[in-house]
Amino acid sequence: MVKLEKIQYKPIPVRDLLIEIKDLSELMIDLAYSAALFDNRELAEEVLELEEHVDALTYLLNMNVMIAVRDAQDAERLLGVQAVASAANKISDAAADIATIVTQNIRIHPIVTQAFMQVEEHLVRTRINPDSILVGEPLGKLELASRIGVDIIAIRRMGRWIINPKKINLENADILIARGAPHGIDELKKIAEGRVKSWD
């Protein structure tokens, strides 16, 4: 993740910024749905923080785009890049809107839960038990995506959320938010809870 303390110009490749904005905005939608489904205030607050981060990245992208433009042809083509970044930023705003329902303690209507449950690819929250084969395993080497079609999109550890984790060793008591097809999600739950001790 591109780190930003406060928004000031840094020469970061526009391509890196756009990929980060786009990936974060999509992740945020899933996190916002999870926050609503599991009525999880901390996760919702995490989404609101990410929204500010995406705003900052979009601002930086726009600065870098303007500096990169040399002629009319550059300008025309980079306008498209700005438009995509702005669209991704709008998606991130939409995620924040959903998260705000949770932080404002509006009770989630069953209709909303049903709408979020409807999707074939869905979301799960599970906790790693001490006797799970996941304990101590490096997340990257587990290759959950190719093995069971599941992505870990967030981990809660010691009261803090780690968003979009890549290189991390899983630990006992980690709470995982994962996305995937129903059978993969069931498999992950069984393995995390220690009910299944090996991969199929």
Q: How far is the CB of 39 from its own copies (least distance, A)?
A: 11
Nearer to its own copies, 26 or 137 (CB): 26
Q: How far is the CB of 114 from its own copies (least distance, A)?
A: 6
Q: How far is the CB of 20 from its own copies (least distance, A)?
A: 9
Nearer to its own copies, 114 or 198 (CB): 114
Q: How far is the CB of 124 from its own copies (least distance, A)?
A: 17
Nearer to its own copies, 95 or 132 (CB): 95
Can you tell me the distance from the alpha carbon of 135 to that of 147, in angstroms, rounded to the nearest whole number?
A: 17
Q: How far is the CB of 32 from its own copies (least distance, A)?
A: 8
Torsion sign (Cα): 180, 186, 189, 191: negative
Nearer to its own copies, 135 or 168 (CB): 168
Nearer to its own copies, 37 or 132 (CB): 37
Q: How far is the CB of 83 from its own copies (least distance, A)?
A: 5
Residue (of 93, 99, 126) closest to 43 by Cα position: 99
| 135 neighbors 172 (Cβ within 8 angstroms) | yes
Residues that bind its own copies (CB under 8 A): 14-15, 18-19, 22-23, 26, 29, 32, 36, 76-81, 83-84, 86-88, 90-91, 93-95, 97-98, 100-101, 106-109, 111-112, 114-116, 118-120, 145-146, 149, 151, 181, 183
Nearer to its own copies, 20 or 174 (CB): 20
